[in-house]
């Protein structure tokens, strides 16, 4: 594939003008790519700032209309595709669960709260609590973990109870075992996991035992879904331990489900749904969203590295087959319904994609940033090792005399040779090489096309392994290159076609083709030529018009570009330079299909090239945002239904209608006073929803539909009394339209316009006319007789008076016209002055808010240039170190000049005079006023004729100068000088602010870098998890510093006790005074001293360790001073390892910190208190540290903590508290230590919300 590409020449000269590359197209691209399945669909992350609510979202559900609801930390979020709305739930800070029943009612569960959303009289949804239906003794039920709406009622799952809401009443069930885990509804059956007892089902209003197989005994079941592959009654069981299961209710048997999921991914399962495609969409807490088919094979997996997230709580699929994810930080939408997938910058591809090729089992992509290769293991692209170049096209060349294949890329400097994961400069050209094709007649030969009149080069390899690189066609800019048989087709930079015959040399053929060539392309061994407004094919040594393609071209259009896809298909871009319509044309069936490329173009993604891939029904697209794949058979975006909603109808400040309206139940009649209405509407289209457009029509008022617009409201005022119907329709990026939604209403006429009023008016009018007519006739007869006599006398008098008055009026008229002209002139001057004041105020506000000097100069130049002539403009900043005035970004005739400076010693310079003397310099005739300023002799023709210099002064100190200059005489007036004085004041403040900001920012960066380096040091001294894992199999560490560095630290070591001939492990959790940098220094000191005491002195008794640490710390910090408050709180224990004993001995001592443990046979924590005495501080004095010896069964859970977790507050100011922390651990005591850590982190995030962390947090847990 080739085309006319003048832009490549400009890219070679001006590399920085990257947007021009959007019109580029790479040449011949026959890449066969097997990697498209790993590409990522369009993904969008909605941040808390966007939806105006909390960070964490725990669940997501859609209703029958397609409206989405999210369980958020601050309430319920509702999203209709355009508008977010937060529905608050009173006295609840966190909502974990929700579901929607068959009546489209949303039910909600939270801590000690359950309820539903109901519409008020206007249709607005509000929360209604159902807690009042519970007995008072049952209302402290804790967290609702799941809500499930079923035909049997709505179920709310808690630890203590299972509640069911049905027919306005609530029924409850209590657990037989420790607690309920969750409830499930599948195949018209309710199941419940009764922890410690087993799986139960609800029959005859009782929970009946089903199974307690070992496969489910220790697991947490997170979902039960249909498994129709083998048996419609079988159930997929999603548990977070070892493997997924298949359950057969008839045989009451469980079996393992073979799957690609790893054990780590299974232990991270949190939620799952089954899609209409039969696949399972599983959300995890560490591995993102995973799609698995019924054979157990992964269909896809999207994580943080793919632009989604690692921690996903909830999943839902909308009406357009798009995936919505409730995240720990925000909300994600993955457009599975779109036909496009992408490898972009997040997957390693940078720059504008120009070509794609497979070579020796590696898939390569070239771009304006180099060449990238695909790594099948990571599903990412990596740049080739070597220097970066702009790569335009790649080509393989098998060598006939060996088994080798040369793989080359043409670049902006010549030809590069690619070797697996690296490349190097191979052949150099004086201009950019942009085309490379193999000879069709001569083996081991390639032709390279070059820009900038460098012509065509021939690269040929000989049997001895050597190669030649010769210019065979000179003085030609290559803008297209193809070869068929022994003929080489070349398009030059003037859009002319040349044909050369390959013999011993290239001989140009005398063939006339007097057409402007837009593009040439080789397809199915035929040369296609797009020229003028037709498409030609080279056939039998002549040009034949392709009538089928030419018929597709409308008048005034032409084929801009062509791209070969395979032996049957070719892509045509038809239109003009600015048009972006692409068609897939089948040259065998002569049928065309318009491609949905609007999805890319409307999001400012420039299309550069197309190429074929080995996957059936897919096309590759090279763009400015990476490599896209288009599934041409995926027409879900055309079939997917979406709705348009009338969200609200306003009359003045009152709401007539609210919420998501789709069907109307009545035809309201509005009072005439309500004849001004505003309609608000939206659509739940989720395919590129930001580009959804609407049109509307008010039947009875509008004659036709409005134009398509992104506006989501329409106002009508002063409507006449009549019957109306408001209709609205939505259309998405792909041109698919929604069904029309309408709202019928009638505006009643006022009484004075009713038929009865008109009848009364008529009767009263007739009576009144009759009476007045009779009385008037009699009166007028008498009156007319008298007036007739006076009339003649009056006419004479009035005639003379009118003539006199007429002269006076003419004179007054002239005076009034003169006054009017004076007033209008004064008005214009006042308005102009006011506008200047407003402009100056706006400019001042903008520039004083700017902290970047380059941006400041640009803004000032734009502002000044709009107010007065400014062929020259600049700001000079005083440089105290060099004693000079620096001019950066000085603009002359619209171009930015290089950096320049005026030394303060050069007092003949006007800038220096203005700065030193702090005075204004103003002239409208520089040549005339030349001697006044004592400047150096300069050629007047090179100098401005009018100029102004103003000093920039802050607090009576000059910091620079501002100058405006014009090459015309008398360019400036006094009002210009007044404006510049105001701007100079603003500019002085802005420059001073920018200088101060730069200084502060530089210091902050140094400080932050130092602290970050301290964090690296601190992290290096902490014991590695691998070391702990070698000695303690089941453990967790929850370590969250408040700042970059931490005052908390944990410590671990092993010591061989020669006296007892045993191995001992010492583990500690330490809280130093303060946090941040002071705390970090204390933690490093404590870490060092613990190493000295235990590892060097071999002291393993915890109490002795604390005593030694206290003494060393006091001596080191000179703690004899009474004012010293530095110290540490610590919990430390020594574990004696004896593999042959069923018990383990633990020695513990604490400095104001306890140890908690729970035996394997119980879920209750025992508390071993530490001594109430800090380490190293004079504030606490008392008895020595006590050592506690514990003989514990193996499998006992042990916990050490600092005070940060318990002291963490929620947004209401309530601390988490030690009792709640112990209860949280007890609830999850039977889980693995890693799972316990997950649950503790979730509880901490939920409690903390968006509140800043208060203190460093450390929690250690392990099983002996």
Res 975: pLDDT: 82
Tell me the mean pLDDT in the region 1045-1053.
91
CA 1107 from centroid of its chain's CA atoms: 54
Does residue 936 have a pLDDT over 70? no
Q: Grade residue 853 by pLDDT with cuts at 50, 70 and 90.
A: confident
pLDDT tens figures, 184-194: 999 999 999 99
Q: Which residues pair with residue 380 across a beta bridge?
A: 375
pLDDT reported for residue 239: 84
Q: What is the mean pLDDT of residues 837-847?
A: 70
What's the average model confidence in pLDDT over 532-553?
A: 90
Q: What are phi and psi of 848, to 5 degrees?
A: -70, -15
Q: What is the pLDDT of residues 1134-1150, one digit of tens each?
A: 999 887 888 899 999 99
Contact 733, 688 (CB under 8 A): yes
φ/ψ of 863, rounded to 5, equals: -70, -45
Q: Please give the structure tokens belonging to residue 58.
A: 């725990």
532 close to 558: Cβ distance less than 8 angstroms: yes
Q: Which of the residue ranges 64-73, 928-937, 982-991, 1207-1216 would you say has the lowest mean pLDDT?
A: 928-937
Q: Model pTM greater than 0.75? A: no
> What pLDDT is recorded for position 1043?
86
CB 111 within 8 A of CB 105: no
Q: Residue written as tokens 């991914």? A: 265
pLDDT of residue 29: 39
- Any idea which of 432-446, 537-551, 758-772 has the lowest mean pLDDT? 758-772
pLDDT of 795: 66
Q: Which CATH number fits domain 640-753: 2.60.40.10, 1.20.210.10, 2.60.120.260, 3.40.190.10?
A: 2.60.40.10
CATH fit for domain 850-1000, picks 3.50.50.60, 3.30.450.40, 1.10.3720.10, 3.40.50.11540 = 3.30.450.40
User: Average of pLDDT values for 682-695?
Assistant: 91
CB atoms within 10 A of CB 652: 10
User: What digits encode the pLDDT tens for the residues 203-262?
Assistant: 999 999 998 876 666 678 899 999 987 777 899 999 877 889 999 999 998 899 999 999
Kindly tell me if the per-residue pLDDT of 1052 is higher than 80.
yes
The stretch 656-676 carries a mean pLDDT of: 71
| Average pLDDT taken over every residue of the chain | 86
Residue 18 scores a pLDDT above 70: no
Could you give the 3-state DSSP secondary structure of residue 1185?
A: coil
Would the pLDDT of 798 be above 90?
Answer: no
792 pLDDT more than 70: no
Contact 239, 209 (CB under 8 A): no
pLDDT grade for 62, boundaries at 50, 70 and 90: very high
Say which residue, 638 or 708, is predicted with more confidence: 708
- Domain parsing of the chain, residue ranges: 640-753, 755-831, 850-1000, 1025-1263
Q: Is the pLDDT of residue 482 over 90?
A: yes
Residue 97's pLDDT band, with cuts at 50, 70 and 90, is very high
Structure tokens at 1240: 């503790």
* Residue 975 contacts residue 922 (beta carbons within 8 Å): no
- The CA distance from 446 to 472, in Å, is 12
What span, in angstroms and rounded, lies between the C-alpha atoms of 96 and 73? 8
Nearest to 204 by CA among 218, 214, 189: 189
Work out the average pLDDT over 8-29.
36
CATH code for the part of the protein at 1025-1263: 3.60.40.10
Quote the pLDDT of residue 830: 60
Q: What is the pLDDT of residue 145?
A: 94
Least confident stretch, 202-216, 469-483, 840-854, 866-880:
840-854
pLDDT at position 30, please?
34
The span from the CA of 235 to the CA of 222, in Å, is 13
1156 is written with which tokens?
């908690």
Residue range 1046-1066: average pLDDT? 86
| Cβ–Cβ under 8 Å, residues 240 and 1235 | yes
Q: What is the pLDDT of residues 859-901, one digit of tens each?
A: 888 888 888 888 899 999 998 888 999 988 888 888 888 888 9
Higher pLDDT, 941 or 34: 34
Asked whether residue 1018 carries a pLDDT value surpassing 80, the answer given is: no
* pLDDT of 33 above 50: no
Return d(Cα 471, Cα 453) in angstroms, integer. Answer: 11
Per-residue model confidence (pLDDT) at position 838: 64
Supply the DSSP symbol for 305: G
Contacts of 928 (CB under 8 A, 6+ apart): none
User: Under a CB-based contact definition with an 8 Å cutoff, are residues 316 and 324 in contact?
Assistant: yes
Least confident of 1-5, 598-602, 1186-1190: 1-5
- pLDDT score for 579: 67
- What pLDDT digit, counting tens, does each position of 720-744 carry? 999 999 999 999 988 899 999 999 9
């Amino acid at each position: 594939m080739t085309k006319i590409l003048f832009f490549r020449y400009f890219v070679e000269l001006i590399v920085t003008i990257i947007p021009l590359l959007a019109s580029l197209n790479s040449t011949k691209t026959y890449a066969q790519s097997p990697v498209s399945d790993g590409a990522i669909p369009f993904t969008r992350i909605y941040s808390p700032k966007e939806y105006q609510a909390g960070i964490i979202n725990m669940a997501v559900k859609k209703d029958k209309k397609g409206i989405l609801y999210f369980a958020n930390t601050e309430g319920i979020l509702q999203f209709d595709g355009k508008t977010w709305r937060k529905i608050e739930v009173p006295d609840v800070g966190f909502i974990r669960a929700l579901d929607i029943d068959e009546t489209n009612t949303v039910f909600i569960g939270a801590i000690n709260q359950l309820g539903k959303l109901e519409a008020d009289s206007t249709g607005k949804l509000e929360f209604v609590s159902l807690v009042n239906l519970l007995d008072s003794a049952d209302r402290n039920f804790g967290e609702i973990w799941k809500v499930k709406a079923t035909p049997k009622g709505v179920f709310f799952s808690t630890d203590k109870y299972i509640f069911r809401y049905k027919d306005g009443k609530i029924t409850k069930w209590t657990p037989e075992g420790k607690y309920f885990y969750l409830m499930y509804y599948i195949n018209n059956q309710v199941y419940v996991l009764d922890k410690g007892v087993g799986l139960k089902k609800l029959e005859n209003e009782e929970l009946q035992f089903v199974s307690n197989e070992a496969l489910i005994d220790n697991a947490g079941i997170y979902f039960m879904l249909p498994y129709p592959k083998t048996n419609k009654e079988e159930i997929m069981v999603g548990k977070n331990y070892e493997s997924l299961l298949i359950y057969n209710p008839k045989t009451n048997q469980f079996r393992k489900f073979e799957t690609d999921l790893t054990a780590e991914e299974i232990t991270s399962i949190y939620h799952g749904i089954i899609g209409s495609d039969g696949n399972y969409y599983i959300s995890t807490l560490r591995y993102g969203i995973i799609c698995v088919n019924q054979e157990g094979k992964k269909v896809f997996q999207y994580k943080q590295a793919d632009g989604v997230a690692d921690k996903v709580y909830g999943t839902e699929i909308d009406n357009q087959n798009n995936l919505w994810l409730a995240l720990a930080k925000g909300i994600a939408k993955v457009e599975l319904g779109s036909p496009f997938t992408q490898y972009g910058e997040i997957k390693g591809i940078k720059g504008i994609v120009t070509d794609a090729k497979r070579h020796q089992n590696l898939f390569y992509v070239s771009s304006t940033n180099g060449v990238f290769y695909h790594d099948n293991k990571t599903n990412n692209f990596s740049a080739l090792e070597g220097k970066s170049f702009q790569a335009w096209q790649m080509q393989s060349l098998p060598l006939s005399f060996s088994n080798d294949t040369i793989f080359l890329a043409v670049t902006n400097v010549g030809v590069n040779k690619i070797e697996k994961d690296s490349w190097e400069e191979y052949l150099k050209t004086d201009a950019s090489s942009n085309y490379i094709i193999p000879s069709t007649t001569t083996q081991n030969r390639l032709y390279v096309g070059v820009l900038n009149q460098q012509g065509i080069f021939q690269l040929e390899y000989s049997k001895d392994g050597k190669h030649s690189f010769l210019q065979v066609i000179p003085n030609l800019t290559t803008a297209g290159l193809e070869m068929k048989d022994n003929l080489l087709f070349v398009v030059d930079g003037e859009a002319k076609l040349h044909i050369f015959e390959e013999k011993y040399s290239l001989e140009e053929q005398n063939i006339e083709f007097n057409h402007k060539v837009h593009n040439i392309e080789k397809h199915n061994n035929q040369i296609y030529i797009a020229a003028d407004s037709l498409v030609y094919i080279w056939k039998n040594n002549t040009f034949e018009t392709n009538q089928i393609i030419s018929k597709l071209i409308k008048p005034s259009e032409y084929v801009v570009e062509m791209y070969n896809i395979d032996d049957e298909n070719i892509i045509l871009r038809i239109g003009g330079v600015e048009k972006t319509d692409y068609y897939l044309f089948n040259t065998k069936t002569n049928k065309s299909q318009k491609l949905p490329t609007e999805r890319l173009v409307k999001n400012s993604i420039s299309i550069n090239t197309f190429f074929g891939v080995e996957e059936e029904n897919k096309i590759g697209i090279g763009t400015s945002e990476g490599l896209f794949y288009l599934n041409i058979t995926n027409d879900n975006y055309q079939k997917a239904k979406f709705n348009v909603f009338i969200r609200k109808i306003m009359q003045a400040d009152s709401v007539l209608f609210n919420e998501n309206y789709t069907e109307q139940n009545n035809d309201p009649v509005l009072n005439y006073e309500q004849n001004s209405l505003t309609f608000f509407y939206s659509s739940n289209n989720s395919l590129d929803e930001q580009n959804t457009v609407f049109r509307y029509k008010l039947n009875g008022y509008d004659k036709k539909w409005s134009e398509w617009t992104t506006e989501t409201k329409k106002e009508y005022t002063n409507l006449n009394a009549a019957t109306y119907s408001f209709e609205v329709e939505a259309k998405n990026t792909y041109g698919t339209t929604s069904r029309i939604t309408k709202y019928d209403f009638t505006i009643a006429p006022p009484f004075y316009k009713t038929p009865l009023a008109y009848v009364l008016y008529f009767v009263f009018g007739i009576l009144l006319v009759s009476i007045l007519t009779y009385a008037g006739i009699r009166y007028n007869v008498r009156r007319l007789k008298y007036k007739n006599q006076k009339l003649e006398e009056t006419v004479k008098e009035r005639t003379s008076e009118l003539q006199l008055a007429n002269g006076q009026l003419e004179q007054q008229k002239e005076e009034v016209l003169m006054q009017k002209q004076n007033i209008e002139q004064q008005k214009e001057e006042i308005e102009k002055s006011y506008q200047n004041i407003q402009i100056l105020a706006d400019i001042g506000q903008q520039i004083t808010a700017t902290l970047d000097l380059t941006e400041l100069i640009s803004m000032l130049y734009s502002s000044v240039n709009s107010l007065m002539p400014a062929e020259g403009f600049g700001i000079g900043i005083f440089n105290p170190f060099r004693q000079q005035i620096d001019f950066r970004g000085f603009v002359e005739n619209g171009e930015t000049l290089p950096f320049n400076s005026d030394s303060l010693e050069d007092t003949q310079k006007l800038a220096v005079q203005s700065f030193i003397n702090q005075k204004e310099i103003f002239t409208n005739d520089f040549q005339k006023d030349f001697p006044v300023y004592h400047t150096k002799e300069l050629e007047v023709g090179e100098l401005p004729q009018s100029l102004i210099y103003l000093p920039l002064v802050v607090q009576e100190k000059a910091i620079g100068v501002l100058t405006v200059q014009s090459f015309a005489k008398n360019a400036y007036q006094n009002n210009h000088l007044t404006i510049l004085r105001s701007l100079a004041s603003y500019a002085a403040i802005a420059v001073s602010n920018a200088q101060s900001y730069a200084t502060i920012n530089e210091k902050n960066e140094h400080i932050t870098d130092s602290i970050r380096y301290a964090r690296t040091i601190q992290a290096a001294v902490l014991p590695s998890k691998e070391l702990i894992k070698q000695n303690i199999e089941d453990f967790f560490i929850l370590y969250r510093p408040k700042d970059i560095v931490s005052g908390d630290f944990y410590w671990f070591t092993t010591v061989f006790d020669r006296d007892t001939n045993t191995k001992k492990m010492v583990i500690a959790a330490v809280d130093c005074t303060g946090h941040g940098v002071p705390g970090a220094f204390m933690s490093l000191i404590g870490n060092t001293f613990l190493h000295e005491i235990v590892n060097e002195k071999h002291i393993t008794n915890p109490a002795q360790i604390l005593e030694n640490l206290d003494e060393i710390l006091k001596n080191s910090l000179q703690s004899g001073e009474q004012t010293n408050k530095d110290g540490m709180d610590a919990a430390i224990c020594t574990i004696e390892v004896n593999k042959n004993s069923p018990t383990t001995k633990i020695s513990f001592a604490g400095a104001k910190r306890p140890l908690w443990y729970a035996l394997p046979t119980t879920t209750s924590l025992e508390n071993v208190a530490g001594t109430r005495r800090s380490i190293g501080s004079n504030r606490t004095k008392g008895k020595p540290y006590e050592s506690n010896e514990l003989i514990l069964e193996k499998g006992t859970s042990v916990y050490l903590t600092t005070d940060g977790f318990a002291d963490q507050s929620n947004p209401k100011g309530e601390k988490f508290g030690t009792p709640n922390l112990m209860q949280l651990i007890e609830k999850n005591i039977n889980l693995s230590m890693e799972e316990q850590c997950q649950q503790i982190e979730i509880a901490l995030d939920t409690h903390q919300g968006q509140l800043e962390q208060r203190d460093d947090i450390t929690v250690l847990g392990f099983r002996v």
